[in-house]
Chain A
Amino acid sequence: MPKPKFFAVVHTPYFRLQCAQQKLVNAEIESNRQTDLPLFGEPATIPKTGDKIPSALLNDSQIIEANPAADAAGVSIGITPSLALARAPELQLYTPVVEQENQQQEALLQLCYRYSPFIENTAPGVCTLDLRGRKDQHQEWWARELLAQWRILGFTAQIGIGPNPELAEQAAKFANPYLAVNANSQLLRSLPLESLKPSHELLDILHNWGIRTLGELVRLPREDIGVRLGLEGLALWDRATGRSTKVLHHMQPPETFREAIDLEQRLETLEPLLFLLRRSLEHLTLRVEAVYRLVAEIRLLLLLDNEDTLERSLQIPAPTRDIAVLFRVLTQYLETVQTTAPVVGFVLEVFASNPGKHQFDLFQSGLKDPNRFFNTLARLAALVGNNRVGIPEKVATHRPDSVRMQWPAFDWMDKTSTQTKSPRIGPALRRYRPPIPATVELISGRPVRIQSPAVNGKINILSGPWHSSGDWWHTNHWEIQEWDIELAQGGLYRLTLSSGSWSISGGYD
């Protein structure tokens, strides 16, 4: 016996209008920037763009979408804005934001993909999920979870579940916010014929017959419908009874996580920008979470008022979805940025990666919090300078004090050298950087006394000279003589003669 099939449809009513309202939310946040908007969590005065205020979408001097409040006030699709404003004086009019619509449609598909690998990009704001493999008893639970996630991104939607995509879509339109129906549902029977969008000719014929609801249509024998209305009539009857066999065009949502915001006002301070960035980051992270990935890189493009741009990619050492960590990386970067003009927009994109696989040795203590560590490194670099913090790496030369600072990579702990080193001989040197110039008294070419701002005295014992040279094939070739000395009053030092000048290059300690 074949398993019963279930489909779910996420229906976002007046989707294009909701997208346009998203832009208003951003504009409101900008205008509130001087007030004390909290950086964390939802602001106390989140702009009101809900269903209670009549709102409509305007395109080519026509209303193309209206919310329920506008609908109740008599604002219908196709009327002119002046007529709409005459009917609802408090009506808010928006214009479509195509880029926002595309971004949010991608976001919807990514969220839905978490719940089923078989999804269809049905229409703007509508996604159909084939629920094969899911158990019935969990449907409402996950449906509400999906709606909550979509709500976080700023959208109000409904979910309908039915035995075929057609019924699920009809159920979604009437859900509040969740509705599961079967083929014999009374609700569907009461729906008007227009809900299935038949052709005008067919609709006129059925209206002339006195048929106005799906229930009235399905009470007519199928064969007679076929004889009188042909294939189109049969298809409509099948759809009304839930027997249609619509084939879903499965797709995989793109793994691009990007939000572009054009600001209404010019931002001159960091705080409102950070607030908007955090909001976008939360949205993007939610989408990344939906595909079970982690954020490995953040790319930020700031659009400036003088048409200049500022772009920066920020690597996340240990990929994560922790908003606090990601936001800290972003904040830290922005605190160091100085723009040549106010910010008028930004593009925030995150790149997802799979969770890293790091297997430490049994006795190896890895970094507890790599992201925090790299954050600290950046702070240290800001404090002492970029080339003054890192892992010391010896350069392959005999030239004294040839050391390079390496910025640690995330897997720096895995690179522990295992080669056995030959045991070192003698005390360690503390190098004077720069070397201290010294005046040296010589007898028979051997130093007997030194005088310098730091070290003075009679040389008691010495060993040397130790000659070394290099880079003879370059113009910057070098040649030095070094002596190890012990002063009469104590203290071991390294004395260097280079280009005829004496200096103390360090003290042994």
Chain B
Amino acid sequence: MSSGKIIELRQVLDERFPRELPPPSSLLATGIDCLDRPLEGGLRRGSITQLVAPLPSCGSAAILHGLIESMQASSRFVALIDGKNSFEPLDTTNLLLWIRCKNVSQAIRAADLIIRDGNIVLSILDLKQNEARELRKVPATAWYRLQRVTAEFETTLLLITSYYISGSSIAALQINNPLRITDFAELSSTISQSRLIDFIYRKNHHAEPQYAQA
């Protein structure tokens, strides 16, 4: 079955069995409309959300900066675990903890430490610049463990990658529109807000088994 048909099937199922919206307190509003809208309010606390940026220039760094600024504006701490040490700070950002890792393995261990700490509201694990072959070496158990600690410590983790990693997150969104050189004339906030983001995976939170009524 092609991925297009799977997405279509999921849409049909969503329409037939509408999901309950999570309570607002369990969502962390990012302040970035193109992200909050599909996520129905924001990133889910206690879970991992994946943002897939498959194109070399599609605005994931713009979203990253927008997210940090938005969190800074509401006095929330953000930890950026930079998998390839590629973040370019634009200003002195007091509420940003930047962890400059050398590889994916180091980044995942750093993310584990940050999540277990429990002090940081939003952690961003940016693995966009890490090579796919490096990411594929990460065992599925590592992602599962990361999910478990995220849930246990009720922190929010946004994972940014260049391709979808199955089983790593509760929801995965993909940025679909590439940047053009004409975008250099746009405001950064406009660029981050105008990304076309679609779901490529969404875990059905209400998939508990339904038993027949007696």
Contact = CB atoms under 8 A, between A and B. Distances in A.
Interface stretch (B19-27, B32-40, B86-94, B206-214): B86-94
A424 B180 contact: no
B72 A416 contact: yes
B188 interface: yes
Interface in A417-476: 417, 421, 423-433, 461-463
Nearest to A405: B98
Given A492-B57, A509-B56, A509-B62, A365 B77 contact: yes
B119 A368 contact: yes
Nearest to B160: A509
Contacts of A426: 183-186, 188, 191
B75 A427 contact: no
A44 interface: no
B47 to A, nearest CB: 19
A463 B181 CA distance: 8
B75 A413 contact: yes
Interface in B160-194: 178-181, 183-189, 191
B75 A490 contact: no
Given A425-B188, A431-B88, A391 B98 contact: yes
Interface in A218-240: none
A289 to B, nearest CB: 26
**Centre residue among A392, A412, A429, A486 by max chain B CB count within 10 A:** A392
A114 to B, nearest CB: 33
Interface string A361-379: 1011101111011001101
B61 A424 contact: no
A394 B89 contact: yes
Contacts of A408: 97
A373 B181 contact: no
Given A384-B106, A389-B98, A426-B188, A361 B77 contact: no
A192 to B, nearest CB: 65
Contact of A369 (B92, B93, B119, B187): B119
Interface stretch (B7-15, B107-115, B135-143, B144-152): B107-115
Interface residues of A, number: 57
B62 A428 contact: yes
A26 to B, nearest CB: 35
Nearest to B64: A428
B168 to A, nearest CB: 21
For the residues of A in contact with B, the DSSP-based class is mixed
Contacts of B86: 430-433, 506
Contacts of A390: 97-98
A337 interface: no
B125 interface: no
A430 B86 CA distance: 5
A421 B184 contact: no
B2 interface: no
A492 B94 contact: no
B55 interface: yes
B77 A424 contact: no
A50 interface: no
A376 B100 contact: no
Interface of B: 53, 55-62, 64-65, 72, 74-77, 85-102, 106, 109-110, 113-114, 116-119, 121, 128-129, 178-181, 183-189, 191
Given A365-B75, A367-B119, 13 more contacts: A365-B121, A372-B118, A383-B113, A388-B101, A389-B100, A390-B97, A394-B92, A401-B88, A405-B98, A408-B97, A415-B94, A462-B181, A490-B57
**A-B CB proximity, top 10 nearest:** A392-B89, A428-B61, A509-B61, A491-B56, A364-B75, A376-B117, A424-B188, A388-B100, A486-B181, A492-B57
30 contacts: A361-B75, A363-B75, A365-B121, A368-B118, A373-B119, A376-B114, A383-B106, A388-B101, A389-B97, A389-B100, A391-B94, A392-B96, A392-B98, A401-B88, A405-B100, A408-B97, A417-B94, A423-B187, A425-B186, A426-B183, A427-B59, A427-B183, A427-B184, A428-B65, A430-B87, A431-B86, A431-B87, A492-B56, A492-B180, A509-B56
